[in-house]
Chains A and B, each alone.
Chain A
Amino acid sequence: MTFVTPLLLLGLAAAAIPLVLHLLASVRAPQEYFPTLRFLKMGMEKTARRRRLEHWLLLLIRSALLAILATAVAEPILKSTAGFWADRRFAAVIIVDNSYSMGVSRRGESRFDAARREAAKLLGGADRPTATALILTNSADRPEALRSDLEGHRRQLSQASLCSGRAAIAECVREALTLLKDRTASQKAIYIFSDMQRISFEHLAELKTAEVPLMLVDCSSAAPVNVGIDNLKISADRSLGREVKFTASLINSSPTDRQVHVWLQVDGNQIGETVRKILPAASVEGPTRTTVRFGHTFTSPCVHVGQVAVAETDDLAVDNVRRFSLRFGGQVRVVLVRGVGRSGGAYDPADMLAVALDSADVWSIRRRTVQAHRFGKASLAGVQAVFFADVPEFSAAQAAAVVEFVRDGGSAVFFLGPAARASNYNERFAGVLPGRIGKAVGQVGMEARGLRAVKNLRHPYLAGLFEAEADYPEIIIQRYYRLERLTGDHHAVLSSPAGDPIISTRDFGAGRVVLATTTASREWNNLATTTLFLPIVTRICLASGERLGADNTFSAGSAVTIKPGVEILGKSVLNVTMPDGAIEVLPLIAGSAAVFTKTDRPGIYRWDVVAGKSAGPDRPAGAFAVNPDGIESDLSGIAPETLAKTIKSQNEGVGVYFGGTLEQVHAAAADAAAGDNLWDRLLAVVILLLIIEAVVANRFRRGDKPTPAHLNPALAA
């Protein structure tokens, strides 16, 4: 037995009070004259033994009363195995981690198998809850309330599978608390079946658990032996005939160093192989990392699929391979919208843009030019980017078409100029542009001094064009529109020394908006005549192509928009062949796109249009790769003791019990049910003793005989 406030045990001294009172009462007894003491003496002689017993009994009871009261106030904690499940109205929320890290297998059983087994024990055991909810951490389906259908939970558990992404245990616990909040069960608990992966338990300690105990079943039987690929970067400058660089990040979560063979495979052919030795995972700093680089030059214009893989088998197979899908050879179709024309090449923005677009030899850009007044929704069919060269204003229909185009993944590039009406732009593209277009500032002319634009060399449009910053040419801006009320998500490519964006980008929907507040001609700046203009225009187009499918690699669980690239006429359907060979049939929405969401399994997904008439020469087909979330390769765990201590430090009084099995967790909880404060029970004993004391102390009064009739004046009369 332990005590919450042992200092209060000093109150035990109060047990001596009855004895002291007894002694004091003896000393201070009042004096009373009485005719004869003979009957008192006779009574005392006859009842001496009984009175002595009663004296002692009363003294004992009163002393015990005070002693128990003092003990109760000190809040004794009794170690007992009864208790925790004494009340059968038991509501529990079961959280099962089904992230990929739970796929770590040892001796034929994965952590997920162990979690399901232990959870099933809870649902089928003698101490099973009366009402439960099952939350799978990486599943989108979430219970709305607790229910008593345990068989349903068992079925759901047996059918559950691993999913990509971090297991957000804290989020799940928050949901569990919400579910339990209105539950009237006297006993509540949240069971977490997890491998105690550190990243899964982030922010859990910050949660106020409202005194609902957390039962942590640690399903990680031992430290894993695993080297995984948690990331694969493919260089952005991808084009046929030029080497594409692949950088794979390897992570070692093993307690020992590991030497692994890593190879690159493209279209089924092994391209390169390398050997790496990785140091063991440090206990505090977490796993160790290293990178492996491969290069490959693609020559044929088609969809290429491949993977970087670790040859050695280990405890977690899913992160041994990282796949990719790249599309080469397709043209980026661009529409150039000509606004107000200017006489003479370098002073005509449309001409300057046309030259830049047409001269791109590293990437096939197919340009089409339309006059501003003829521009409409139809102009954007099958186009990946649209350039506006000093377009004075937009009609509502034109603006709506542009917004829809960008939302669907296209890129809209606005080059302003003297003709542009800022108010029209602000009205038509409110919320789309990086900011509100204000007044044009600066002077134009031979004698006017321009501003030296500040270049953001980390922006993808400028990054890596020259080896040194000094090699970048000076951009002189004489006049530009000042942007006001900038959105927080814009990125400046070029800006004035005062910070006003000259060229800025903003992602909107699935696409991007690029706004140049100055001209694409020499009229207001020297940009179009520098060596930066061509790469910027080219990279804008390149980026548009990437978003539309050049790199078709996705994380598992994400929704993939499949765009055939050409308009499919008539009722159109496409088939998606899953990594395991199963085929999913999808309708094409408006003949141009389909959304595929069943990307739970990592691998290569291939699609082809099987119904409908293609507007192009070929029946469109393609592929995309799905990889697990690389964060799951970091298998470093958090010690349950540490986690429990942290949670308890933030949530005073909450119980956190842990163990490798459900039984161990229950045993820990039973141990702490110790924790049941006994003071209320002791108070009950005190009350009982008070009653006994009252009975014992007053038994004479109760036993008094009535006055004999001959001594009763009323009766005698």
Chain B
Amino acid sequence: MAKSPYLYFEPDRLAKFANLNLLARQVVEGFISGLHRSPHKGFSVEFSGQREYSPGDDLRHLDWVAWARTDRFYIKQYEQETNLRAYILLDISGSMNYRYGGEVTKYRYGCFLAACLAYLMCRQQDTVGMVAFDRKIRLHLPPASTAAHLDRLFTGIERLKPGKQTAIAETFHELAERIAKRGLIIVISDLYDDPAEVMRALQHFCYKKHQLILFHLFDRAELEFPFRKMTNFVDIETGQKIQVDPRLLRRSYRDEINAFIERYRKECSDRNIEYVTAVTDQPYDLMLLNYLARRKAMVRR
């Protein structure tokens, strides 16, 4: 296998995705024929069903065979296959630039994940766009599916640098307004913002008829809080310090972060948003493979 010229794109890791397609659970409209069904019933190439004729219907779609059999007028309906229009929203705030003992930071993990998803979608003729943000939008690539676009996308990710503070909700509201056509929104973030505001922003996407997939990234240390000695903890984003005896606070910390995760899980479930937690000590390809396998099984059902 040839070595990839891109930092965050590892083709050998994607070989295992050969038989999997990124299937949107919800039909979205697209402009390239693909595997995604359009929600717009009309008169296209794929027969979908019949309905009774009503005055004003185009007579070109009258089903004469049905009239011959039943002596009634039916109008033929068709379903159109569309291309997926996806946006990958990558959080590059300071909190993403964290690792504790692991190999990669959440930021790098997110970059790998974004590149992988972009490649997969481009390969199946879906258009994919890219937005990187912290307090502001740092990178915005409109959706496309050409090889040149993919090259721009990979290069753009490589040029990114972790930022400072986060303003997730504001950014999402802004994007929800800017993305006109509905599609698939893939969020890769640690979501360290006010959960209520974040959920409101996500709701904004839903309101705009987007389908949402949320990859919530964690370092293992964030979940388990393995520290032992009295420590001065410094907030990466704000520089604020706090002295803590981890042995005394571990339990409450873990309770809080579990509650945080549970809240996102529940609220996402309520809003039909797919919520996926990812821990950086788990290989991203393996995590993605598991997710896609589960998703495929869900669609077939």
List chain A positions with a Cβ less than 8 A from chain B.
25-26, 29-44, 46-47, 51, 54-55, 697-698, 700-701, 703-705, 707-708, 710-711, 713, 716-717
Contacts and interface: CB of A to CB of B under 8 A. Distances in A.
B261 interface: yes
Nearest to A55: B248
A713 B243 contact: no
Contacts of B281: 713
Interface in B225-273: 227, 229-237, 240-245, 247-258, 260-261, 265
Nearest to B166: A36
B78 interface: no
Contacts, number: 119
Nearest 5 A-B pairs (CB), nearest first? A43-B252, A35-B95, A39-B256, A713-B282, A29-B230
B249 A43 contact: yes
B237 A36 contact: yes
A713 B250 CA distance: 21
B151 interface: no
A710 B248 contact: no
Interface string B187-211: 0001010000000000000000000
Given A25-B230, A35-B222, A700 B235 contact: no
A35 B192 contact: yes
A268 B266 CA distance: 130
Given A30-B229, A713-B281, A37 B235 contact: yes
A711 B245 CA distance: 25
B286 interface: yes
B223 A711 contact: yes
B96 to A, nearest CB: 8
26 contacts: A30-B231, A31-B231, A31-B232, A32-B231, A33-B233, A33-B235, A33-B236, A34-B235, A35-B96, A35-B98, A35-B237, A36-B235, A37-B240, A39-B256, A39-B260, A40-B233, A40-B249, A40-B253, A41-B242, A44-B242, A47-B248, A54-B248, A701-B250, A711-B223, A713-B281, A713-B282
A700 B231 CA distance: 17
Given A34-B234, A47-B249, A716-B282, A711 B255 contact: no
B87 to A, nearest CB: 24
A700 B277 contact: no
A704 B252 CA distance: 9
B248 A700 contact: yes
Contact of B219 (A35, A54, A698, A701): A35
A44 B244 CA distance: 9
B232 A30 contact: yes
B290 interface: yes
B95 A32 contact: no
Contacts of A701: 247, 250
Contacts of A55: 248
B232 A32 contact: yes
A40 B244 contact: yes
A55 B247 CA distance: 11
A200 B218 CA distance: 92
Interface string B168-191: 000000000000000000000010
B52 interface: no
Contacts of A697: 247
B224 interface: yes
Given A30-B232, A33-B234, A43-B253, 5 more contacts: A35-B219, A36-B235, A37-B235, A43-B255, A713-B282
Contacts of B245: 51
B279 interface: yes
A40 B221 CA distance: 13
Given A701-B247, A705-B254, A37 B233 contact: yes
B229 A707 contact: no
Contacts of A38: 192, 256
Given A29-B232, A34-B236, A37-B233, A42 B247 contact: no
A42 B244 CA distance: 12
Nearest to A32: B231
Contacts of A708: 258, 261
A133 B272 CA distance: 96
Nearest to A716: B290
Contacts of B247: 697-698, 700-701
A51 B230 contact: no
Contacts of B254: 704-705
Contacts of B290: 716-717
Given A39-B260, A713-B279, A700 B250 contact: yes
Residue with the highest number of chain B CB atoms closer than 10 Å, among A29, A34, A37: A34
Nearest to A51: B248
Contacts of A34: 98, 233-236
Contact of A29 (B231, B251, B277): B231
A29 B143 CA distance: 49
A29 B243 contact: yes
Contacts of A44: 242, 244, 249, 252
A698 B247 CA distance: 8
Contact of B279 (A29, A703, A711): A711
Interface in B68-124: 95-96, 98, 106
Contact of B233 (A32, A42, A54, A710): A32
Nearest to B235: A37
Contact of A711 (B231, B236, B250, B277): B277
B94 to A, nearest CB: 8
A38 B218 CA distance: 15
A717 B218 CA distance: 17
Contact of A36 (B95, B227, B230, B251): B95
B282 to A, nearest CB: 4
A39 B257 contact: yes
Contact of A46 (B223, B252, B260): B252
A48 to B, nearest CB: 10
Contacts of B252: 42-44, 46-47
B98 A33 contact: yes
Contacts of A703: 251
A26 B192 contact: no
Contacts of A33: 98, 233-236
Residue with the highest number of chain B CB atoms closer than 10 Å, among A31, A700, A705: A700
Given A37-B240, A39-B257, A32 B279 contact: no
Residue with the highest number of chain B CB atoms closer than 10 Å, among A36, A40, A51, A716: A36
B224 A707 contact: yes
A36 B265 CA distance: 20
B223 A32 contact: no
Contacts of B233: 32-34, 37, 40
Contacts of B260: 39
B249 to A, nearest CB: 5
A704 to B, nearest CB: 6
Contacts of B241: 31
A711 B261 contact: yes
Given A40-B253, A700-B248, A35 B224 contact: no
Contacts of B287: 716
A26 B230 contact: yes
